[in-house]
Amino acid sequence: MTSAINRRQFLQLAGIGGVGVVFASALPGVAHAAGQDDFYFVQLSDTHWGFEGPPNPDAKGTLKKAVASVNAVDQQPDFIVFTGDLTHTTDSPVERRRRMAEFKDIVGGLRVKDVRFMPGEHDASLDSGKAFKEFFGATYYTFDHKGVHFIALDNVSDPRALIGDEQLAWLAADLGQQRADAPIVVLTHRPLFDLAPQWDWATRDGAKAIELLMPFRNVTVFYGHIHQEHHHMTGHIAHHAAKGLMFPLPAPGSQPNRSPLPWDPAQPYKGLGFRSVDAEVKEAACRITEYPVVKA
Amino acid sequence: MKLDMRLLRIAAGAAALGLASIATYVAAQPAQPKEKVIRIDAKRFDYTPGELTLKKGEAVILELTSRDVLMGFNLPDFNLRADVVPDKVTRVRFVPDKTGSFTFLCDIFCGSKHEEMNGRLTVVE
């Protein structure tokens, strides 16, 4: 996709061929950000740069196509987030850095330059996030955008899938500065709740983070790791998993193993994609839209 | 805020997972004389043996070892897990209290085939 398309056409792409879904959801509390403009951001996840294998014959091309698809929109997002597993794991520190450099070079082609990165276990678990920090900076941090407070949590640099007491204390201190009705968006890699412990789709101390977030009325979590769209509520907190951009994984618990779903030559890139999240301040609503890698 | 609760309820229902029972877990304790000892050796990226059959209600001591790096041994359906440290024997007492087929897995990321590092426990009457 090289020709420019407008925002409305971009949204319509989601429905073509049944490969995308517009998911109406809430980014609660955004309405409280009085005087702020509507905005949207794009979430990409699990690009696994460096992976090679039958689940994706276009392993070297898929990320570039996704970048081109995002760039083709005339009204660009305010910012873009990558929720982990930017690269596929390797035992070699040299190769890990080479993959991160290549990934960074490719996503450097995004028109939007405000890009936020989170690590996945493939990026960070074998070296406690050392290489990730060299290329992308801190593994957990906050930022504010048009009245919304964003919190990036790291649940992968500890290979035991722990957030850890130090980061939890940091989270508690940050939340202590927020109003109870503040719109808060959490970005992370693994699910914070026990989605499928039999497949290691969990964060061992994720419940502690959720407990810290529970007093806040307007919290939404966006994460990756499971390579498919998924929506779940823990109390009033919504958790939205994103599709990946290398290979799709099966639905939680649907088969004995979590092996990648096979590539379908009749429907290339099926199960892959990215999403936009619209914060519609004036309408007090938010919209999640799922996109295929390429226009159908 | 508008929220499509119908979709969310469906997703939440499909994702609902529960732990049916709690296993007895005693780490780093010597085996009791009459309890069967089962050795499980971990290495990247498998367990040996990868399949176990136990009897419901019969206590066993799992002796867990790792040949290379720090591993996890997690049996979520019995709420049982342990770190498996290289050059150390980790002992876990386990009494299966239900029958069926269950997955055990490494839950400490250990490399490129970590996601494939799992085994199967069958519990019979």
Tokens representing B34?
């009459």
The answer to whether position A2 is within a domain reads: no
Task: List, as ranges, residues 120-179 from A with C-beta within 8 Å of B.
Answer: 121, 125-126, 156, 159-161
For residue A9, pLDDT over 70 is answered with: no
| Among the partner residues A24, A230, A256, nearest to B11 by beta-carbon distance | A230
**Which structural domains are found in chain B, ordered by start?**
20-124 (2.60.40.420)
Q: Which helix (DSSP H) or strand (DSSP E) does residue A42 occupy?
A: strand A39-44
Tokens representing B112?
């490129």
Q: Is the dihedral of CA A188, A192, A233, A271 positive or negative?
A: positive
pLDDT of A21 reads 40
The answer to whether position A216 is within a domain reads: yes
**B12:A232 CB<8 A:** yes
**B115:A26 CB<8 A:** no
Write out chain B residues lying below 8 Å of A88, CB-based: 112
Helices (H), A115-164: 121-124, 130-136
Angle formed by the axes of helices A165-175 and A206-213, to 10°? 10
Of residues B96 and B9, which shows the higher confidence score? B96
Query: Dihedrals φ, ψ of A212, to 5°?
Result: -65, -30
Query: Dihedrals φ, ψ of A285, to 5°?
Result: -145, 170
Confidence of residue B6 (pLDDT cuts 50, 70, 90): very low
pLDDT of A2 reads 34
pLDDT in tens, A240-249: 999 999 999 9
* CA-based R_g, chain B, Å: 17
Owner of token pair 């304790």: B29
Confidence of residue B12 (pLDDT cuts 50, 70, 90): very low
User: What's the whole-number mean pLDDT along residues A4-29?
Assistant: 44
- Please list, in sequence order, all residues whose beta carbon lies within 8 angstroms of the beta carbon of residue B18, skipping any fewer than 6 positions away: none
Report which of B102, B20, B34, B94 is spatially closest to residue B64, judged by C-alpha positions.
B94
Whole domain around residue A163: which residue ranges?
Answer: 7-291
pLDDT in tens, A131-160: 999 999 999 999 999 989 999 999 999 999
As a dihedral over the C-alpha atoms of residue A281, residue A283, residue A285, residue A287, rounded to 10 degrees, the angle is -90
ipTM of the complex: 0.83
Report which of A92, A99, A41, A105 is spatially closest to residue A242, judged by C-alpha positions.
A41
pLDDT of A6 reads 54
User: How far off is chain B from A44, nearest CA to CA, in Å?
Assistant: 21
pLDDT in tens, A87-126: 999 999 999 999 999 999 999 999 999 999 999 999 999 9
Q: Is B123 on the interface with A (CB under 8 A)?
A: no
Q: Which amino acid is at A198?
A: Q
**Residues of chain A above pLDDT 70, percent:** 85
Tokens representing A98?
């080479």
Tokens representing A103?
């990934």
pLDDT of B27 reads 47
| Among the partner residues B83, B103, B111, nearest to A198 by beta-carbon distance | B103
Least reliable range by pLDDT among A53-57, A124-128, A256-260, B50-54 = A256-260
Q: Is A21 on the interface with B (CB under 8 A)?
A: no
What CA–CA distance (Å, rounded) separates A63 from A117? 15
Least reliable range by pLDDT among A11-15, A203-207, B89-93 = A11-15
Q: Is A209 on the interface with B (CB under 8 A)?
A: no
User: From A48, which residue of chain B is nearest by alpha-carbon distance?
Assistant: B112
- Please list, in sequence order, all residues whose beta carbon lies within 8 angstroms of the beta carbon of residue B27, skipping any fewer than 6 positions away: B82, B90, B91, B92
CATH label of the domain that carries residue A165 = 3.60.21.10
pLDDT of A30 reads 58
What CA–CA distance (Å, rounded) separates A246 from A59? 7
**Residues of chain A above pLDDT 90, percent:** 77
pLDDT in tens, A57-67: 999 999 999 99
What CA–CA distance (Å, rounded) separates A248 from A279? 27
DSSP code string of B20-65 = -------BS-PPPTTSEEEEEEEETTEEESSEEEEETT--EEEEEE
- Please list, in sequence order, all residues whose beta carbon lies within 8 angstroms of the beta carbon of residue A260, skipping any fewer than 6 positions away: A53, A55, A227, A247, A248, A249
Cβ neighbourhood burial of A1 (10 Å; 0-12, 13-18, 19+): middle
**Mean pLDDT across chain A:** 88
The answer to whether position A296 is within a domain reads: no
Three-state DSSP class for residue A6: coil
For A171-229, where are the E strands, in sequence order?
Answer: 183-187, 218-223
pLDDT of A74 reads 83
| Among the partner residues A90, A195, A259, nearest to B15 by beta-carbon distance | A195
The answer to whether position A170 is within a domain reads: yes
Q: Is B116 on the interface with A (CB under 8 A)?
A: yes
For residue B19, pLDDT over 80 is answered with: no
What CA–CA distance (Å, rounded) separates B111 from B27? 26
**A231:B7 CB<8 A:** yes
Q: Is A64 on the interface with B (CB under 8 A)?
A: no
| Edge-first strand listing for the sheet containing B51-55 | B51-55, B118-124, B100-105, B71-75, B80-84
Q: Do A210 and A193 touch, CB atoms closer than 8 A?
A: yes
Diameter over CA atoms, chain B: 62
For residue A34, pLDDT over 80 is answered with: no
What's the total number of domains in chain A? 1
Least reliable range by pLDDT among A29-43, A151-165, A260-274 = A29-43
The answer to whether position A61 is within a domain reads: yes
For residue A22, pLDDT over 70 is answered with: no
The answer to whether position A1 is within a domain reads: no
Q: Do A120 and A82 touch, CB atoms closer than 8 A?
A: no
User: How far off is chain A from B25, nearest CA to CA, in Å?
Assistant: 17
Confidence of residue A293 (pLDDT cuts 50, 70, 90): confident
User: What's the whole-number mean pLDDT along residues B69-75?
Assistant: 96
Write out chain A residues lying below 8 Å of B14, CB-based: 251-252
Q: Which of A10-24, A238-252, A274-288 is predicted most confidently? A: A238-252
